[in-house]
Amino acid sequence: MTFDMQRALAEAPRDRGVAWRFVREFAAYWGRPLRAGDGFGVEEVGAAGRRLGVGLPAALCEAYVLFGRRRDLTGNHDTFLAPEELYVADGTLVYRVANQDRACWGVPVADLGDADPATVRRPDTSPVARWEPHEPSLSVALLAMVMSEVLMLEDGLSDHAESPDAVPELERLYDELPAVGQDFRWFSGPDALVRVAGGGAWIDVRGRTPEALDAVREAVPGPWAGG
């Protein structure tokens, strides 16, 4: 199976239909294909909006129906809330919470009428924390979420390193992908996907095979968490 991530990521921010096609292809290439039953039912999603007294954006509804139950794509580290877990805080619909509840992502209630609204992020739950602009559209935010969560799968094909000096080597050895996700840089190589976060200090990698993962470990300075 081949998957042209360069092309797909370049087109996805302009069309959420393309973004969902990317998610389908990405899931099949880096994990397992999406199937019937991997999402929530339309009625379940609609009930969440009625419970909260708001209309949910089309992009959020589509994502729930397409892959909302796939925890390997949505909940290995941070958590994409199930429809019944959605809540409103400080005028914002919260749809995702970080590991240990340190941060959360949402959509301003005032923008819920948009089909694919921009998103916001609150860095922590302290009383002084404020919502900050995040991604230009919800579909892009959810696409970046899927890419990031797959890197956190604990199945022997992912690894992580704190390596501030790794970026020059990544730039030399791998192809940089179009930017998706605030503060992330993405690289691809033979059967390998690499994310750089924290201004270059933190590296996350996933291989399609153990050999592909080992090749990145050998090429990029660690130390690597998995060896």
Q: Is pLDDT at 227 greater than 70 in this prediction?
A: no
- Residue 201, pLDDT score: 83
In this predicted model, what pLDDT tens digit does every residue of 60-70 receive, in sequence order? 999 999 999 99
Q: For domain 5-148, which CATH number applies: 3.40.1580.10, 3.20.20.70, 3.40.1190.20, 3.40.50.510?
A: 3.40.1580.10
| 179 backbone dihedrals φ, ψ, rounded to 5° | -65, 125
Residues 52, 88 contacting (CB under 8 angstroms): yes
Residues 196, 187 contacting (CB under 8 angstroms): yes
Give DSSP secondary structure letters for 114-136: SSS---EEES--STT---EE--S
Query: How many alpha carbons fall within 13 Å on the CB side of residue 191?
Result: 12
Please state which of the ranges 16-20, 123-127, 153-157 shows the lowest mean pLDDT: 123-127
Residue burial 15-47, b: 16+ Cβ < 10 Å; e: rest: ebebbbebbebbbebbbeebeeebbbeeebbee
pLDDT band at 122 (very low <50, low <70, confident <90, very high): very high
- Residue 124, pLDDT score: 84
Q: For domain 154-219, which CATH number applies: 3.30.310, 1.10.3470, 2.60.40, 3.30.750?
A: 3.30.310
Q: How do the domains of the chain map onto residue ranges?
A: 5-148, 154-219
Q: What is the mean pLDDT of residues 155-179?
A: 92
- Residue 101, pLDDT score: 66
**Full-model pTM:** 0.94
Question: Could you tell me the sign of the dihedral formed by the alpha carbons of 217, 220, 222, 224, in that order?
Answer: negative
- Residue 8, pLDDT score: 87
